[in-house]
Amino acid sequence: MVKKSSYISIFTILIVTLLIFGGISSAETVDQIQDKIDNANANRAKLEKEIAAYQEQLKNISTQAVSLQNTIKSLDVSTTKISTEVKLTENNIDKTTYNIQDTGLNILDKEKQINKGNLAIRQALRQINEADDRSIWEVLLSNEDLSDFWTDIENIIVVQSEIGDQVLSVKNIKANLEKAKAELEKKKKELEDYTKELSDKKQVLLSTKKEKSSLLTTTKNTEANYQKILKDKLALKEALDLEISQAESQLRLIIDPKSFPKAGKGILAWPLDDIYITQYFGKTVDSARLYVSGTHNGVDFRAPIGTKVKSAGSGKIEGIGNTDIVCPGASYGKWVFIRYDNGLASIYGHLSLITAKEGQVVKAGDIVGYSGNTGYSTGPHLHMGVYAGQGVKISSLKSAACKGTYVMPLADTKAYLDPMIYL
């Protein structure tokens, strides 16, 4: 016969199991971590507000005349803005670390619940099995008192039901544990991304400080010297443009119209999060003045130094380079060339930092670099050119104007496309 004391012991185990399933963890530690997360969120909001204010200052400066004073002012504000972005990234790293700690405690707690719950269920089943050497039916049939018979039946049903509930509860906890682990992996990836971004931002900051130092050294902080440097850069750019135009006009590449998409919005993704176009493709107000061909071969976007530049589609980084090495201030400066899977290709110019590697496979939205003011640029911006892929290739060109050999994408004139018909 199953003794009542046995059932009391079984129910005690099940009640303890229910209490365990309620969750046991260090409430003080969890609260402390949550306080840190809340503080990080508040700090993030404050830093983002500061960055937005610097962004507005840079927009105002970009509308003013190109002068040494405004250029230095722009570099100063850019330096402060990027420094604040470094702080924001460090704050995001801290917050993500706290989230990882919080999720880790959650995972440990759930694993503890599962282990203790499984142990409690095994103990309950063992006690039922060990209550008597005879089977449950033998125990029931041995009862002389009918009321004892039904009492035992009810107790067995209750215990079995409770065990079934606990098995289901353990399964639910396991499912929540798997979700928590997936969330942990996601947060670890975020932490890796933020750590990489922090390194990138610090490099951009260093580059910006060097640019200001170089500018002050070469101009000797004199407006007349600055304007002369701009004039010399424009003359060199025009000479280089002529060489490129002559080389490209001699290209006779076969371009199958079916090898790249017909015009359509959204075929390519925007390369920046915040879109403001400063110059369109083709004949523009400034194209006749700035370009030998009289047309602008891409689209220019306003982009303060250090703005993330993203791939406009899936494809491969076919080349990276820096024309400033051979022709300082005359062309694209630091550039990235992407050949997309859909038959199009594009170049990003005037970058401050290139993070992509040659041969790297990318998808739309992947960061390939940060905007800047390299090459021929009267202010920080991003130049994006789009080509029919069959009509463009990375080439070396010996330059009389630059007295050296530079490397950059060269395209059959028929290959240049208006980016706006695909964005």
pLDDT of residue 227: 94
What whole-number distance in Å separates Cα of residue 208 and Cα of residue 204?
6
pLDDT of residue 199: 95
pTM of the model: 0.80
pLDDT of residue 318: 97
Per the CB < 8 A criterion, the answer to whether 76 and 212 are in contact is yes
Percent of the chain with pLDDT over 90: 58
pLDDT of residue 113: 78
pLDDT of residue 212: 94
Low-confidence stretches of the chain (pLDDT beneath 70): 1-28, 124-167, 170, 283-294
Cα dihedral sign, 8-9-15-18:
negative
pLDDT of residue 183: 84
What tens digit of pLDDT does each residue of 226-237 get? 999 999 998 998
Phi, psi of 350 (to 5 degrees): 70, 25
What whole-number distance in Å separates Cα of residue 56 and Cα of residue 166?
59
What tens digit of pLDDT does each residue of 308-336 get? 999 999 999 999 999 999 999 989 999 99
What whole-number distance in Å separates Cα of residue 173 and Cα of residue 114?
7
pLDDT of residue 14: 41
What whole-number distance in Å separates Cα of residue 132 and Cα of residue 152?
13
Phi, psi of 354 (to 5 degrees): -105, 125
pLDDT of residue 10: 41
pLDDT of residue 141: 61
What whole-number distance in Å separates Cα of residue 209 and Cα of residue 58?
16
Domains annotated on the chain, with CATH: 4-206 (no CATH), 222-421 (2.70.70.10)
pLDDT of residue 117: 72
Distances (CA, A) of 364 to 176, 206, 264: 32, 28, 16
Strands 416-417, 381-388: pairing is antiparallel
What whole-number distance in Å separates Cα of residue 362 and Cα of residue 411?
22
